[in-house]
Structure 1
Amino acid sequence: MSDETPDVPVDASTGSTSEGHRPILRVVKGDLTPEELAALVAVVAARNAAAAHAAARTKPKVRSQWGHPARMARTPHRVGPDLWRRSAFGG
């Protein structure tokens, strides 16, 4: 960026603005035109939006009930015609 003062004052020691927010982008070398800076911001914003959209689309993994900790506390076996079913499912 050029030697112009920014619209929002920035504290040199912390790098934060007067509102307490830190700038997301900072050009440290070179002299960008307003169009080049706008293009840079557009690319970074589009990439961030794509990453956020991809993260929102991912589904959480469904845990198998066979490994659930509650299955470790098994019920006692009962006598009956469907003993095999109750022995596996704790019914």
Structure 2
Amino acid sequence: MPSLRELPLRMPEPPPPQDSAVRWDRVGLDRYEVKASGTTVGFIDVVGAVFVVLRGARYDRAVEVLQTLDFATAVQSICPAVTEPQASAGPSRT
């Protein structure tokens, strides 16, 4: 099937920067555990070319929230408040 050949190849994701508040560790052949500030917040399963995102501290109780082809999007969907830049509150009134 030609469309299957167009899917990206999956290699293990490199670790995040040491000073990152969001970290992921490969905990299986096809699974990542995602932590925010040292606390487990979710998991990412690699199913073929798709990242299946599960939110929750325990894998057996985590809930699927997204399927995506982009690892950064997968991480951001688990902990958006930590990975998105803070929105400006607007001009200050002094």
Q: Which structure has greater strand proportion?
A: 2
Question: Greater Rg, structure 1 or structure 2?
Answer: 1
User: Which has the larger helix fraction?
Assistant: 1
Do the structures match in fold with TM over 0.5? no
TM-score range, shorter chain: under 0.3
The TM-score with structure 2 as length reference comes to 0.23
**Larger RCO, structure (CA 8 Å, separation 6 or more):** 2
